[in-house]
Amino acid sequence: MICLLFASCSAPTNLAYDFVRKSKGAEVAFYVPYQLDKINIRKDCQGEFLDSIAPEDINDTINARTKIVNKIDDEKFFNIMISSFESTLNDYNLKLSYWENENTKPDSLHWVVDLSHMEVIEFIEYILTTCGYDSYEFIPSTSVNVDSWFELINNDKQTSNLLYTEQSYVEYVEDCNYHYDTLNNVTVTADIQRLTIDGFYDFAVMLGKLYAGYSFDYFMNEYVKKEMARRGKEYSEDRYMRYDPYEFYIYNTRRDKLIRIEE
């Protein structure tokens, strides 16, 4: 029984390693949208937070309070992300190459990763901190969500699936402390790692790395699923594997992946 269980678990993993070997040298065409869809839903940029502002000063106030979405250079952001994507492809023994023409189609060694839409949403959250004291305080902080929609193709039937992922660039408390004033009241101070536009461009580097890895993992899992079906073996749709090209290691994950969107 133990041997059978081990064999059933190891078969998908062996197929995943088989995909890693077979995919070496694959060419990947990576497409990005013409521009980012930038959305500002900061509470301090709407409603009652603007009631005391003179009408002629509202736009300047909103721009001053907004940290990221009104400062992004789309071309710079995409160039950074694509460069990071390409560098990470090399770690997977793949290469960025726009190989398509009327005589070529996607196949096992020619992949299309189409990042069809990206939204960057800025908003305010509240960080809960106690600073080692018996009381606690909520501190307003800026957060930025990046939502991305993909279509991935690596077969000559040109069939693709719509996939989604989101990541967050957020402020966080680096250090906090409290002290008593002369009236024995507690004052809490917190050092917050604030968001900056330069930090957001660094975040684009992380996104490029992540998207390259997620794309590889998606194609790998699709290969395993099809091979298991072709061999008439049972395979759980809930199982999803990731490949670490630096440790040459395959492991299971539940959430760290592209999410398929049912059409």
Residue of 176, 175, 171 whose CA lies nearest to 141: 171
pLDDT in tens, 87-99: 999 999 999 999 8
pLDDT at 5 over 60: no
Please state the φ and ψ torsions of residue 12, each to the nearest 5 degrees: -60, -40
Distance CA 171, CA 199 (A): 11
Q: Which of 15-29, 171-185, 199-213 has the lowest average pLDDT? A: 171-185
Q: Model pTM greater than 0.85? A: yes
Mean pLDDT for 8-14 is 79
Q: How far is CA 215 from CA 16, 94, 113, 128, 149, in A?
A: 14, 12, 7, 35, 12
- The domain in which residue 11 lies consists of 2-260
Buried b (16+ CB within 10 A) or exposed e, 193-211: eebebeebbebbbebbbbb
Structural domains counted in the chain: 1
